[in-house]
Chains A and B, each alone.
Chain A
């Protein structure tokens, strides 16, 4: 009988599906909502934390990971994704959890050291083999024969950081002369070959389509790209001045409380500041605050002047309005 046969195969498939959904032998489970390129970092850190937690409390903890663009991740948490902690790459995306959902207190940045940013990075350049155009700093990117690639600041945090870095450089170089700053940033933007919507798209444009002389992205990501395309001979250039890109972390208190994970969630984030964890983070090309680890990795992270959002635009909310809002500075400077 055909129908019986079908039913049998369906039952079989069902059993297969269920058995593939494993039951974890964990005492506690934590959900970490993170940005899209942090998978390996947290896979490694979670292992470290599980060992630390086991030693401290004797309990087995399993940390589950959700990855995606951090604005979308924040939106999902507001809509009910019950993440205990967030480890994002944009401060504004954590702020939204307070503004729209009251899921954490307004002063979340004061809950942990270094404004709740256990590690940081900056915008660096990936140039083609031998750096044929001799690109060293932001003024090189405004030269007529140089074309650059980075994601659209309208849609990507990565692109916003790049824009702000160039703007901050110009503020310093022209001692605050607004007309000259605008002129420089305008030229800089006009040298962009392609504005992709996200970091991964920009990488594909630069690497696989061979467009542009320089790809501007996080210093932490540049090494991933070199590892992914070892035979291309790409080189890293860290400019003399760049933007301080913070990676904010916070406990989503409402959710963590509900999940009964408040202490665990706090411990999970606090452990990020331990020397061992900082070493692990540095191993993934992130800059860290721990001085011992800084000394160990001094060679990998050339010194540069890091500009904060406060120096460049006063605050994030101000930057979003003045620079990235409709008909804001970015829109004006992009008109050719």
Chain B
């Protein structure tokens, strides 16, 4: 039963982080919250018993965050100095 509650909490966190990514105005904040989404997805994959997918998601979450930030640097907007 406790696992069910934990899964529900993780799913709510996933949906909440997705909505924040879609609605936030600052692109840098969107990237950071997307990284948090990736982390919650890792925890969710671990809970439903697929460590292989969780491992892939963890590594790709890091790499895609680096990609997004370097692309944002090229865009020259979204970062408040």
Q: Are A and B part of the same complex?
A: no
Interface residues of B (CB under 8 A from A): none
